[in-house]
Amino acid sequence: MRFVLRRLGFYLLAFWVSVTLNFLLPRFMPGDPVSRMFARSQSRMTPEQITQLQKLFGLDDRPVWQQYVDYLGNVVTGEMGVSISRFPTPVVEVIAGQIGWTILLGGTALVIAVLLGNLLGILAAWRRGGALDSFLPPVLVFVGSFPYFWLAMGALYLFGVSLGWFPLRHAFSAGSSPAWSGDFVADAALHLVLPAVTIVVVSVGGWMLAMRNTMIATNAEDYIVMAEAKGLRPGRIMFRYAARNAMLPAVTSFGMSLGFVVGGALLTEVVFAYPGVGYQLLAAVQGLDYPLMQGIFLTITAAVLLVNFLVDIVYVRLDPRVRAS
Amino acid sequence: MMMTRTRRGRHVGRALAVAVAGALALTACGSGGSGDGSGGADAAGAPLTIPREDMGTFVRNFNPFSPNVAPMTQQAVYEPMFVYNPADGSTTPWLATEWSASDDGTALTFSLREGVRWSDGEPLVAQDVVTTFELQKELLGGYEYLETVEAVDEGTVTFHLNRTYAPALYEIGQQIIIPDHVWSQVDDPSKETNENPVGTGPYTEVLSFESQSFDLGPNPNYWQPEKQKIPAIRMLAFAGNDGANLAAANGEVDWAPQFMPNIEQAFVAKDPEHNHYWFPPTGAMINWHLNTTKPPFDDVDVRKALSMAIDREQIVDVAMQGYTHPADCTGLSGAYDAWRDEDLAGSCTWTERDVDAANALLDEAGYPRGADGTRTHPDGSPLTLTISVGSTSSDWLSVAEIISQNLAEVGVAASVDAPDWSAVVASYEDGSFDTGIVWSNNAPTPYQFFRGVMSTATVKPVGEKTFENYHRFGDEDADALLDEFAGTNDEDAQHAIVRELQAEFDAEAPVIPLFPGPEWGAYTDVRFTGWPSEENPYATLNTRAPTTVLVLTTLEPVKG
């Protein structure tokens, strides 16, 4: 319990530091939202409209510390204000409209990559020097080091345009609406395949290598030799003795990655026109939409810290050594 | 062993299923609102499909006073009193049938078309126009010359101006009109999202709305029902040009208004019979702005000499892929062909490439060329300059590169600086930039263009933020001409004044015109015909312009 409380205190501190950074960083960027909007409209807006827009958006010209105090209050109450680049939609609504797709895409891709990567890592390490171990790691690292944009475009052209197996864009067919029907779920799943698979392909190599390396270290431990000497079945040793211990670093990275999933997958969203938070964040940064930027950063920060906290707790379950210390 | 593994497998499977279901549930909550099931527009035949390349997702906001309104609101849902077409210079009466100015030009009277109904069945009345301008002034500003708007009777509106202002007619006439009976009930029009808009336009009914696409169906009470031949309009969201271009090349969208590099190969070659494009040079003039608060750019001879060093043919052919043509010394883009002084345009000197003359002019102006071939200021320091362009505009970036190469031939070292657009624009706004490639004002008359490049009224000191006249050049002769233009409604007099303004532009070279911006636009006539083209320029292929409604009411489905 003391361990959990101490961790909780640490996370509160980390949260404060990151929300403060969220507040400060956007304000260091040059320009202001309205002149960004004006510049982007390239002569379709008149200069007279600018002051009016500044008034409309209720842009702050109060001292920064005062804005900061208000901001901290709003963070606590979850009040994120109104998006500027999406005016007059509230930030909460902008994020809520996208985050489901982001979690669906990022979560699916991450879970598949982790399961597949770890399983391959375990097997490769178990039969060290075997076909799997000598062939897969270089190939996966090679594929993973391709620029993602290129790989995704290639996959889109090959499987989407040339072969026509998968839809080219979006999370479901245009003209349909999300519903709990078999047709819709099948449609959404089909749209998910290419974006998710491309992410899995570039990320699985890292998971596999990490798992393989810790697994090799674990295989050399005395208790493995002991288990073998006692005549336990190899499968049982592999999964219950070696993998279970080698899994710990993977759990940590899984937690980290899970938290970052809510940040969206910008390039995937751009290539496959998949709805999500990543493009919103890019648009917010380009438009200097402080409220939306802060809202998204806050969501990411909160998710990363929350998931890490959960991982810490899971660790207590998984690793008795943490409990003892 | 088998047992252990299957049990584990089942756990994982269940966890995965829960995760996916949870994410789907979140999605369903987030995107709610449409609720009318999977209706869509497909039932009535293929919708006119249009990509929107700069919006990764749509937000259901049809408030025309919002700066981030959903696409097509100003084009398909609401309509203006008349439509001006820059491609052929014509004006089409729309919600108004005729209009006139009082003798002193301070009162403009519009007669509204009879029989126009809003999509909810209410008739269009003069009060709608009055409310429109009240809201527009209150929420978005502008129209500072407008004193009052008066509903004379049900079908007549008079605009009282506080001074004679010639450009007012086009600004007022192209303002889209909203219904008073709806908007007078709205508590806070600035924050209204207007999810189910009531408009006079051809396509007002939101059939389905998702963040990645939405469908607009025909207005049941449209005033020219014989022109509603498109079953529906479908907008698709894209987070960048690549996705939108792929959809166009693949024949999945009918109308592609975004920039496509190498369009002959990437688009036309896919289906030469049906895929077409037309890029009329009616966009804003693209200029090279020299910050005239910094020497040597305050010297008109230097500006002209630098201009003569530039190879506009190369810029147009290489950087702009031949999609436009070189500018002339009137500064006017293709949208102002009717205003251009052809004699002047035919005898331009400083917009033609002439390296020898450029060298001679620079020598004469007192910027000697040293032994190493580079020029210096009169005080001996090297003559160098920076060209700022936003890093994302690859076409303008190559324009800057070509200028930089051209300038080397006259001994001026120009470096290209390409940070993010926001940083570039910030330096334009506060006047700290050296030189930059900048768009210019584009409006139905050249008044706004000339005002933006050489009126003293638009000059702000360095350090103070400005949103036009970044190069900070003011000319009192031009001021007088501009005032004269604004003060007359006589078209012949206006043309005479614009000729004088062109002569003034030619004499002063306030900015260095490069090429008129093309209006991008491509289409496929597999499903719809009747597109505007060079032979039939009844509109441009722009989907965000006032002329868009002309295209929407002309297209018809291909039979068979």
Choice between A276 and B118, residue whose per-residue pLDDT is larger:
B118
What b/e sequence results for B469-487 when a residue is b if at least 16 CB atoms lie within 10 Å of its CB, and e otherwise? bbbbbbbeebbebbebbbe
pTM (predicted TM-score)? 0.82
Alpha-carbon distance A52 to nearest alpha carbon in chain B (angstroms): 5
Best residue of A36, A40, A110, A169 to probe chain B, by most B CBs closer than 10 Å: A169
Which residue from B558, B47, B194, B26 is spatially nearest to A173, judged by alpha carbons? Answer: B47
- pLDDT tens track for B299-342: 999 999 999 999 999 999 999 988 999 999 999 988 898 899 99
Q: Which residues pair with B83 in a beta bridge?
A: B92
Domain spanning B285-516: which CATH class is it, in words?
alpha beta
pLDDT at position B27, please? Answer: 44
- pLDDT tens track for A221-276: 898 888 889 988 888 888 888 888 888 888 888 888 888 888 778 888 888 888 88
User: Looking at chain A from residue 64 to 83, which residues have their Cβ under 8 Å from any Cβ of chain B?
Assistant: 82
CATH of domain B22-70+201-280+520-557: 3.40.190.10
pLDDT at position B402, please? Answer: 95
| A188 CB burial (10 A radius; 0-12, 13-18, 19+) | buried
- pLDDT tens track for B143-176: 889 999 999 999 999 999 998 898 899 999 999 9
A318 Cα distance to chain centroid = 24
Return mean pLDDT, chain B.
87
pLDDT value at B14 more than 60: no
- pLDDT tens track for A134-155: 888 888 888 888 888 888 888 8
| Minimal Cβ distance to A48: which of B1, B141, B425 | B141
What ipTM score was computed for the predicted complex, to two decimals? 0.79
Are residues B50 and B238 in contact, defined by beta-carbon separation less than 8 angstroms?
no
CATH topology of domain B82-183: Dipeptide-binding Protein; domain 1 (3.90.76)
Best residue of A91, A92, A158, A177 to probe chain B, by most B CBs closer than 10 Å: A177
Q: Do B140 and A49 touch (CB under 8 A)?
A: yes
Best residue of A46, A93, A157 to probe chain B, by most B CBs closer than 10 Å: A46
Helix (H, G, I), strand (E, B) or coil at B438: strand
User: Looking at chain B from residue 332 to 391, which residues have their Cβ under 8 Å from any Cβ of chain A?
Assistant: none
| Minimal Cβ distance to B426: which of A30, A56, A273 | A30
Distance between CA B263 and CA B4 in Å, rounded? 59
- pLDDT tens track for A304-315: 888 888 888 888
User: Looking at chain A from residue 147 to 206, which residues have their Cβ under 8 Å from any Cβ of chain B?
Assistant: 153, 156, 161, 168-172, 174-180, 184-185, 188
Inter-chain contacts counted by CB atoms under 8 A, chains A and B: 224
Amino acid at B509: A
B305 Cα distance to chain centroid = 31
Domains of chain B, by residue range, sit at 22-70+201-280+520-557, 82-183, 285-516
Q: Please list every residue in chain A whose beta carbon sits closer than 8 Å to the beta carbon of residue B49.
A: 174
Q: What would the 3-class secondary structure string for B82-130 be?
A: EEEECCCCEEEECCEEEEEECCCCCEEEEEECCCCECCCCCECCHHHHH
Omega prior to B86 cis, within 30 of 0? no
Alpha-carbon distance B472 to nearest alpha carbon in chain A (angstroms): 15
User: Looking at chain B from residue 257 to 296, which residues have their Cβ under 8 Å from any Cβ of chain A?
Assistant: 284
- pLDDT tens track for B15-67: 444 444 444 444 443 333 333 333 444 445 889 999 998 887 888 999 998 87
Distance between CA B338 and CA B340 in Å, rounded? 6
- pLDDT tens track for B67-98: 778 999 999 999 999 999 988 889 999 999 99
- pLDDT tens track for A178-234: 888 888 888 889 999 999 999 999 889 889 999 999 998 988 889 888 888 998 888
Minimum Cα–Cα distance from A177: chain B residue: B38
| Minimal Cβ distance to B240: which of A47, A94, A270 | A270
Other C-beta atoms lying within 10 Å of the C-beta of residue A298: 22
Please list, in sequence order, all residues whose beta carbon lies within 8 angstroms of the beta carbon of residue B129, skipping any fewer than 6 positions away. Answer: B81, B110, B112, B149, B151, B157, B177
Best residue of A101, A180, A200 to probe chain B, by most B CBs closer than 10 Å: A101
Question: Is A232 an 8 Å CB contact of chain B?
Answer: no
Sheet holding B233-237, edge to edge: B48-52, B233-237, B213-218, B203-209
Please, what sign has the CA dihedral across residues B323, B326, B330, B331?
Answer: positive
Which residue from B85, B234, B205 is spatially nearest to B538, judged by alpha carbons? Answer: B85
Q: Do A178 and B468 touch (CB under 8 A)?
A: no
User: Looking at chain B from residue 144 to 173, which residues have their Cβ under 8 Å from any Cβ of chain A?
Assistant: 144
